[in-house]
Structure formats: structure tokens, C-alpha cells
Amino acid sequence: MSFKKYIKAVGTGPKGNRDLAEAEVIDAIELILENKVTQAQIGAFLIAWRTKLETDDELTAAVKALKKYIKFTKIENSLELGYSFDGRENNPFLFPLYENILKEFHEKNKDITPLNLVISGDFLQPAKNGLTTKDIFNSIDKGQYVHYFDRIEYLKELSDLTKLREELGLRTVFNTIEKLLNPASSDFGVTAAFHKPYVKKYIAMFKEYYKDVIVLKGAEGSPEVFSNGKYWEEVDGQVIEIQFSLSDFGITYDKTYENISLEEALEIVKNPSDEILKLAKFNIALYLVFAQRVNNLEDAWKRLN
């Protein structure tokens, strides 16, 4: 089928636009990833589709299309942390601290099944500047419990679209679907959302690939929290909301940065303050709950301390 038909379907305007069927979405994504259409056609389609607003069914089909191209490497007993692929400017990354926290935790809690964390990264994607998980992982040592997957290795076809996406300079469908593609075949997945409508979208898109998917109100589109927040999960077909307050765990943190540099971010985790360490532990407590290693945050926090 001509790719122009897909551009017309999403880019004609409010009266002429229509939703794409699953087979059409899959075909369009395959044509894009395999470079069987021009860069101009790809750009026109992605922007028009975003303007039309992708439906939940279209997003789910797009995820299904990408799965065909992923090189999977199984990490047992793992939770995937779905970080955004655009930049972080206002907070350091906490995950460099997770390795030692998990090592100490599992040495003291032999009754708990080990928890591995999986993080993916790539070159900076639009629509904002800043640091990426790839920047950090290229600067730290690898460990036993935190595993990094570089997209240029597990999904090169999507990584190769980086230049085009930079030229567009706008969010596209790929920004929405790329955070939880599960290259490690993890049992559990957690990602972040700023806007509540996206909670149901993320759960609908990814739930068939995990035992459970949790959506967290995290910092800068990442599954890391630096302040009071909430998370959502689907229970018996209903999306429930659970709130938490850092003060309940003795954490008071109000530090913010502006255009944090790689050097600053690395120094913070190389010589962490007590509050940064508490924050990192609290995030691990959340992950232990999400991965069903403990029953609640209070139990996780007690064991971690």
C-alpha cells in the first residue's frame, strides 16, 4: 500500500482524518524503520499523526510494530525503569546510587528474591535538552543489579531516526511509546506521566508485556521521585491511585538545578548528601513494592534502613 495513503489518513484535516487500523499502523511503522519511504514522507506522517492525536489502539499497534525489531536479552527477576529519552535539566539522576543500595539490601534480606533494574538509553531525543541516561552510563562503572541497554544495540532502526527527529524538533508518536519496550523481557515495568490521561494510555499500551505496569508521577518524565507524589496501577480492571509523602519517611528535599551539567550530576552521586541517599533509598523502596518484593512502602523502608 502506498505510504501516501497513511499521510492522507492523518493529515487531511479534521473533516478528512481517520484513525488507522492496527495493520495500517504496523505497516507504516515498518516502512519507516526499514527506510522504504523518504525522510520528507516520514516527517509529514509523524507530525500529522501527532496533530490528529494518536488513539490508544493506534499507540498499542505502534508498540506491537516495534517489538518485531527488538533484540531481546532476558534479565531474570527484573523491573524495567522507563526513563524518557529526552533530556533532564533540573535534577540529577539517582540510579548510579541504586547498585550499592540493592547490594546492601539483599545481603541483609536473604528472604527477598533479588531485584534487577533495567534502564534503556540512546542519543538525546526531542523535545527538550539536557542529560540522558546514556550520558550517565557512559561515565560510571557497570554493576550487578543495574543493567543498561543501549538502543543502538537492541533497536538500531529506531535509534537511526534520531537525526530526523532532531530536525523535526517536535514530539512524535515515538516519544510516547519508546520508554517501556522491554528489551530485557522484564517481569515488571514502571514509567512516568505528567498528565493523568496518559496513565491509562501507558497501561493500555504496555500491560500485555509485563506481569504488572505502574505509572509514577516522577521527575522530568522519569521513574524517579524527588518530592511527594503518587502512582497508579490497574487492579481488577480499574486504575487505582496511591499517594505518598516523603515527610512520612523523614525526607526533606527541596534542591533544584537549572541546566544541570554532566559534571554536576556525577559529583552529586559520587559524593551524595544524606538527603540524596535517602531519596535514592526511597525510590528503591518504591521499586520493591512495584516488583512485588514487599507488601508496602513502610515494610520496604524499614528493611532498607
Q: Which of the pair, 299 or 2, is modelled with greater confidence?
A: 299
**Domain limits, CATH 1.20.970.10, in the chain:** 3-67
Which pLDDT score, from 0 to 100, does residue 194 have?
Answer: 78
Mean pLDDT of 36-55: 97
Strand bridging mode 116-121 / 146-150: parallel
**Model pLDDT for residues 20-33, shown as the tens digit of each residue:** 999 999 999 999 99
Residue range 78-304, CATH number: 3.40.1030.10
Euclidean distance between CA atoms 282 and 293, whole angstroms? 15
Nearest to 55 by CA among 9, 120, 3: 9
Which three cell numbers mark 297?
A: 512502602
Instruction: Give the three-class secondary structure for 294.
Output: coil
Which pLDDT score, from 0 to 100, does residue 195 have?
Answer: 78
Q: Which of the pair, 202 or 127, is modelled with greater confidence?
A: 202
Q: Quick check: 197 pLDDT over 90?
A: no
**Domain limits, CATH 3.40.1030.10, in the chain:** 78-304
3-67 fold: 1.20.970
Instruction: Give the three-class secondary structure for 69.
Output: coil
**Model pLDDT for residues 58-109, shown as the tens digit of each residue:** 999 999 999 999 999 999 999 999 999 999 999 999 999 999 999 999 999 9
Q: Quick check: 131 pLDDT over 90?
A: yes
Which three cell numbers mark 279?
A: 531519596
- The proportion of the chain whose per-residue pLDDT surpasses 70, expressed as a percent, equals 100
User: Is this model's pTM higher than 0.85 or not?
Assistant: yes
Q: Quick check: 127 pLDDT over 90?
A: no
**Model pLDDT for residues 225-274, shown as the tens digit of each residue:** 999 999 999 999 999 999 999 999 999 998 989 999 999 999 999 999 99
Q: What is the mean pLDDT of the chain?
A: 96
Which pLDDT score, from 0 to 100, does residue 1 have?
Answer: 56
The arrangement of strands across the sheet holding 229-235 comes to 146-150, 116-121, 78-82, 188-192, 212-216, 229-235, 238-244
Q: Report CA-CA distances (Å) from 216 to 9, 33, 52, 242.
A: 34, 30, 26, 10
